[in-house]
Amino acid sequence: MSAVAESTSSPQDSSSLNFRLSTARELLQRAVSGEDPCLSLGCQILDAFLRGGLRKGVTELAGESACGKTQFALQLLLQAQLPVEQRGLNSASFYLCTEDLPITRLKQLAEAYNVKYPWTAEYDFCQNVFIERVTAVEDFLDVLFHRLPTFLEKRRDIRLIVIDSIASVLRTEFEQGEYSDRATLLFSIGSQLAQLASAYSCIILVINQVTDKVQNEEYKLCPSSTNSSVCLSHWSVRSSGRLVTSSLGLSWAHCVNTRLFLSRELSSALPPFDQPTSAVIRSTPAESPVVAATNRIPQPSANHSCATPPPSSFCTLPNQPSTHCIRKLHVIFSSYLPCSNDSDSVDGACPFIISHEGVRGV
């Protein structure tokens, strides 16, 4: 792991980020004025559950395969480009992919956004999504600690960074007995992400995989296990009949501000449009992030109101299949959201479905 250690110890890591001290008054004014970004998930039901959407900082979205993690990520990459009046960030997005890139699905969602917001009919949402794909941990760290900060200095309009997924390149990197080295690396990654979020006022979404949780006697005594799919004392969620928890352990849990979790029912059938797309990019990483031509989103004209569409038009999708695999969004811990078991809703989760047009709450 010497190469990994060298990737994270360069003296230019901190010098490439511009920091300044802020007073408590400045931070309070920023929060009251709405200067800090808040990104909608593209559906009023989901936004209500998250009290407006994602906030500045590091948010983890975990779940087992086919729960919809990448679907959320792709939708947010497009939503960030909308004007603030439409609950976007009026910004570009950066997508760091460590698995197969579902470019066909991204294009499909972009076309759905053009239909959903008619004043963007001539706008290409894909042109402001900057993509970097890596498969090796050394390349991943090089992007995170060197190339990405340099790119953000050049492109100050990027306000959303998505990593999909962190466990894909890190969970098999260390052998048994190297827990201390792994914890050190995870803390270093978490610190870098926090610095990027602060220096560039970014929302950072990190997709994570899950691992099975052994149900011992201690879990059986967990009060929430009797009436909920979440056991908060263990940060575990029941999904597909199994008790699962986020990968990378406790060390990584201390590196994120908010942990969201997706679950799905074991008996529900997976819709055809949730199957992995066959049209994926399997290319080697480039020397620098993929940079597209500047293409700013147009502002709505007088004939198209910026007001938020009503629930019926904002979340209702045409040609909707009669059956869906109902999934749930949980809040495991957060600095600004109540945990799932503390919510007023049934077991504190927000059900959602995935269609050709995107993700929406039900």
362 vs 274: CA distance, rounded Å: 17
If you write DSSP's letter for every residue of 219-242 in order, what string do you get? Answer: HHT-GGGGT-SEEGGGTEEEETTE
What is the model's pTM? 0.79
The closest alpha carbon to 90, from 298, 313, 301, belongs to 298
Res 88: pLDDT: 94
3-state secondary structure 307-335: CCCCHHHHHCCCCCCCCCCCEEEEEEECC
pLDDT surpasses 70 at 269:
no
SS3 category, 303? coil
pLDDT tens, residue by residue, 177-188: 677 888 899 999
If you write DSSP's letter for every residue of 119-153 in order, what string do you get? Answer: GGTT--GGGGEEEEE--SHHHHHHIIIIIHHHHHH
Q: Best-predicted range by mean pLDDT among 4-13, 212-221, 227-236, 244-253?
A: 244-253
* Residue 137 near residue 181, CB atoms below 8 Å: no
| Distant-in-sequence, close-in-space partners of 333: CB < 8 Å, separation ≥ 6 | 232, 235, 258, 259, 339
| Distant-in-sequence, close-in-space partners of 116: CB < 8 Å, separation ≥ 6 | 357
pLDDT class for 174, splitting at 50, 70, 90? low
pLDDT tens, residue by residue, 33-42: 656 779 999 9
The residue whose two tokens read 């909608």 is 40
Pair type for strands 358-361 and 350-355:
antiparallel
Instruction: Map out the domains of the chain with their CATH numbers.
Output: 2-9+35-212+239-361 (3.40.50.300)
Mean pLDDT (the chain, rounded): 78
